């Protein structure tokens, strides 16, 4: 779909890039010639991913940095280290956390666990990169992964829906504020793209009422490579006139109803069913 050197010369940070979609996006960036930096809380996971990439793509340039994006000081320290080997060109806010729960049962810490990673983490990373771009008079590019509940809301995952909606508001606010400085920001809302992380948290065994494909008008789940090519496009100079946008790639799922049949069935779960899910 793209020239092999589409992203040559670009340094790209993918937060949460050691697993799941962040890992797939990072691999695609490397294939297209980028210098990739991935961060997350677990160094062993990041290093295993980096080793896998180096074996698959000899000559690939990849760095790993541990960082808990909930902690603004750790984000600053990561950006400082990252900039020492040259400025960043693209930030991908991908790190996130989510779980299903009845909202009235959530503790304050449970709400914070999601908001702090998704909303605060994305803010800290955007500001740390944006300030450096502005001080250096350089252009910048932020791509944030949100989800279709930014449009619809979503039952039983209210903190994630609210936090991701906040990330969209941040994106649109900064697209205007930082546009004159050559910094652009966009959001992508993926639909159902299977990853161990999302499926463990959102669709534990016993929670599904019918095949997930049934809830998607295109009648299939997304393939990582389809999503990754959208992230490649957004990272490339060819998308340079796009900013403040939300691109949904979900096979039409959101228009059919938030969360699909699985989440609708949760409205009728009893205490025993919820307790069984919480213990898993
Ligand atoms: C369509 C949507 C698209 C989005 C998809 C995705 O994002 S997929 C991405 C999917 N990938 C990921 O999510 C990967 C990252 N996930 C994680 O790091 C963890 O799953 C985390 C979200 C719990 C945060 O961990 P942490 O170490 O910061 O926190 P901790 O373990 O110390 O708990 C803090 C508080 O949360 C409470 N609590 C926890 N679970 C539940 C629950 N099921 N029920 C209720 N409460 C729950 C826990 O009891 C505690 O409160 P307490 O008892 O002290 O008052
Ligand atoms: N898969 C799907 O179908 C969908 C996914 N999404 C979004 O896609 C993105 C990736 O999700 P997915 O790949 O499925 O799930 P994963 O659980 O695999 O990804 C989450 C990543 O975030 C990292 N992370 C979590 N907390 C922190 C933190 N405090 N600091 C730094 N890194 C952190 C994790 O690494 P570590 O634990 O080592 O820190 C992990 O690598 C998320 O933004 C998610 O909301 C949206 C819609 C659908």
How high is the pLDDT of residue 18? Answer: 98
Residue 4 is assigned to a structural domain of this protein: no
- What ipTM does the predicted assembly reach? 0.97
How high is the pLDDT of residue 209? Answer: 76
How high is the pLDDT of residue 233? Answer: 98
Residue 1 is assigned to a structural domain of this protein: no
Residue 21 is assigned to a structural domain of this protein: yes
Number of domains in the chain: 1
Question: Which ligand is in closest contact with the Cα of 21?
Answer: 2
Q: Are strands 140-145 and 183-190 parallel, antiparallel or unpaired?
A: parallel
Question: Which ligand is in closest contact with the Cα of 19?
Answer: 2
Residues 164 and 147: beta-carbon distance below 8 Å: yes
The alpha carbon of 111 and the centre of ligand 1 are apart by a number of angstroms equal to 9
Q: What is the mean pLDDT of each run of 10 residues along the chain (280 residues)?
A: 96 98 98 98 98 97 98 98 97 98 98 98 98 98 98 96 98 98 98 96 85 92 98 98 98 87 85 85
Residue 179 is assigned to a structural domain of this protein: yes
15 lines ligand 2 (CB under 6 A): yes
How high is the pLDDT of residue 280? Answer: 67
Residue 244 is assigned to a structural domain of this protein: yes
How high is the pLDDT of residue 239? Answer: 98
> Rounded to an integer, what distance in angstroms lies between the CA atom of residue 172 and that of residue 50?
33
Compute the CA torsion angle 72, 78, 83, 87 (nearest 10 deg).
-70
The alpha carbon of 46 and the centre of ligand 2 are apart by a number of angstroms equal to 13
> Rounded to an integer, what distance in angstroms lies between the CA atom of residue 169 and that of residue 175?
10
Q: What is the domain-level CATH number for residue 141? A: 3.40.50.720
* Dihedral (CA of 152, 156, 158, 160) sign: negative
Residue 5 is assigned to a structural domain of this protein: no
Q: 249 by DSSP, 3-state: which? A: strand
How high is the pLDDT of residue 170? Answer: 98
Residue 6 is assigned to a structural domain of this protein: no
Q: Give percent helix, percent strand, percent coil of the chain, each to the nearest 5.
A: 50, 15, 35
Residue 80 is assigned to a structural domain of this protein: yes
Residues 230 and 28: beta-carbon distance below 8 Å: no
- Residue-number span of the structural domain to which 62 is assigned: 11-279
The beta strands (E) that lie in the chain are given as 11-15, 35-40, 62-66, 90-93, 140-145, 183-190, 246-249
pTM: 0.96
The alpha carbon of 99 and the centre of ligand 1 are apart by a number of angstroms equal to 6
């Amino acid at each position: 779909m793209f020239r092999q050197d589409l992203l040559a010369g670009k340094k790209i940070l993918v937060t949460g890039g050691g697993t799941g979609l962040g890992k797939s996006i990072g691999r695609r960036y490397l294939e297209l010639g980028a210098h990739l930096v991935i961060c997350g809380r677990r160094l062993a996971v990041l290093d295993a991913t980096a080793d896998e990439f180096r074996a698959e793509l000899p000559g690939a340039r990849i760095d790993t940095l541990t960082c808990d994006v909930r902690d603004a000081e750790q984000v600053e320290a990561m950006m400082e280290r990252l900039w020492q080997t040259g400025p960043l060109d693209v930030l991908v806010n991908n790190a996130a956390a989510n779980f299903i729960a009845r909202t009235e049962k959530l503790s304050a810490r449970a709400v914070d666990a999601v908001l702090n990673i998704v909303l605060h983490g994305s803010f800290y990373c955007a500001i740390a990169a944006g300030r450096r771009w502005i001080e250096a008079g350089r252009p910048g590019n932020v791509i944030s992964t949100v989800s279709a509940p930014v449009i619809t809301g979503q039952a039983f995952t209210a903190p994630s829906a609210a936090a991701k909606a906040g990330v969209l508001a941040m994106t649109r606010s900064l697209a205007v504020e930082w546009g004159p400085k050559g910094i652009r920001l966009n959001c992508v809302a993926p639909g159902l793209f299977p990853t161990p992380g999302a499926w463990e948290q959102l669709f534990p065994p016993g929670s599904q009422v019918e095949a997930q494909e049934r809830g998607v008008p295109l009648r299939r789940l997304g393939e990582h490579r389809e999503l990754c090519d959208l992230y490649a496009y957004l990272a490339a100079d060819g998308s340079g006139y796009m900013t403040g946008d939300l691109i949904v790639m979900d096979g039409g799922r959101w228009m059919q109803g938030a969360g699909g049949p699985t989440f609708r069935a949760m409205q009728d779960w009893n205490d025993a069913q919820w307790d069984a899910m919480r213990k898993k």
